[in-house]
Amino acid sequence: MSTVAVPSPPPTASEDAESLRKALQGWRADKAALVGILCRRTAAQRAAIRRAYAFLYREPLLNCFRYKLSRHYCLLSVDFWKALILWTMDPAERDANLVHEAVKKKDENYILVLIEVSCASTPDHLLAVRKIYLKLFSCSIEEDVASSPALREPLKKMLVSLVSSYRYAGEQVDMDVAKLEAAQLSEAIREKQLHGNEVVRIISTRSKSQLRATFQQYKEDQGRDIAEDINSRCSSQFGRMLKSAVWCLTSPEKHFAQVIRYSILGVGTYEDLLTRVIVSRAELDMKRIKEEYMARYKSAVTLDVAGDTSFGYRDMLLALVGSED
C-alpha cells in the first residue's frame, strides 16, 4: 500500500547521484529537484543512490543534507531538510535514530515513537532496528529504555517488553488462548489493573494474528471495542500508551490517522509528528491511513497537509502522501 510513485524505468543510481549533486550546488538548493528524485524512489533505490553518491563524490549524501540543515537552521527550510534526511535513511536506520531521540524525552509524542516502532513494525524490521541501534549507539534499545530518566514505571516495564519482543509472524491462531486472554484483559480493565503482568505479557509476546482474535473475542464478550474500554476506564499515561499499542498492533492506520490529525489541528503544526508519520508510513500503509483519515475526519490528508504547511516542506510531504484516489 505504498504511495511512492516510482518512474518506469527509473534512472540509474549514478544518474540520480549526479542530478542530486547539481541540485545541491549553491546557497539555495533546488528543493523541487531533490523532491522529484528522492521522493520517487524506493528504500532500496535510495540506498543505491547513497552508495553511488559516496563513490562519485567521496562524501556521504546525508552529510551534505546535514550541512544544508545547519546553514538553514533558523530559516523556513529547516523542516524540509530534517524530513529529507529521515526519508533518505534506510528505514531501520531511521527508526533507530528516532528511538534514540525519543528515549530522552518526557513528551508523550516522543514516547509514542517507541510504541510505533515496536508494535507497528514487522518482527524482522524491529530486529533490524535493534541491530543497527546497537551499532550506532553502542548499547541496546532495551538498555536505553530501561535506564531512561524520562520514563516512569509501570510504563517503562511495558516499553522494555515491547522493544524486546520478537513475535510469530504467521496467521495461525489458537481460539482457546484468545478466549482465555480476552477474559484476562476484561478483568484487568474492569479492575483498572492494566499494568499487571498478564496484560504486559499478552501485549508484548502474542502475534498480531493472535491479538486480533483476542480483541475480536473481547468485543464479542463485552459488546465494546477493547481500545474504547481502555480509553474510557483508564485516563492515565499508561492507559493512553496501551491503547496506542493495541491500535499499532492490529490496526495501525487508526493510530497514524489520529497522529496526523493531532499534528495539524489548531494553531501551528507539530512538524516532528507530521514528518515522522508520513516519512515512516509512505512505503507501508499510507493508502489505508488516508482512507481511515477520510472516514473519521471527513477530510483528505492531502488537503489538510497542504493547508497547514508551506514551500518545499509541503511539496515533499505531498509527494510522499500521494494523490487522493
CA–CA separation, 324 and 291 (whole Å): 9
**237, 276: one domain:** no
**283, 263: one domain:** yes
| pLDDT for residue 51 is more than 90 | yes
| pLDDT for residue 26 is more than 90 | no
Least confident piece of the model among 61-65, 227-231, 262-266, 314-318: 262-266
Q: Where are the alpha helices (DSSP H) in 138-207?
A: 141-147, 155-163, 175-190, 197-205
**104, 51: one domain:** no
Nearest to 263 by CA among 245, 285, 239, 289: 289
**124, 184: one domain:** no
Q: Assign residue 66 a region (left: φ > 0; alpha: ψ between -120 and 50; beta: otherwise).
A: alpha
Question: Which residues are part of a known binding site for Ca(2+)?
Answer: 26, 264, 268, 306, 308-309
The rounded mean pLDDT for the chain is: 94
4 within domain boundaries: no
Mean pLDDT of 105-109: 86
291 within domain boundaries: yes
Least confident piece of the model among 93-102, 108-117, 267-276: 267-276
Which residues span the domain enclosing 134? 92-163
144 within domain boundaries: yes
Mean pLDDT of 212-229: 96
Mean pLDDT of 105-120: 93
Which of 199, 222, 250 terminates a domain? The answer is 250
Question: Which residues are part of a known binding site?
Answer: 26, 264, 268, 306, 308-309
Nearest to 110 by CA among 98, 126, 123, 95: 98
Mean pLDDT of 117-138: 98
| pLDDT for residue 267 is more than 70 | no
What pLDDT was estimated at residue 74?
Answer: 53
Which of 163, 198, 223 terminates a domain? The answer is 163
Residues 6+ apart with CB under 8 A from 93: 132, 136
Task: For residue 72, name the pLDDT band (cuts at 50, 70, 90).
Answer: low
- How many other C-beta atoms lie within 10 A of the C-beta of residue 202? 20
CATH number at residue 213: 1.10.220.10
**Number of domains, the chain:** 4
The pTM for the full model equals 0.94
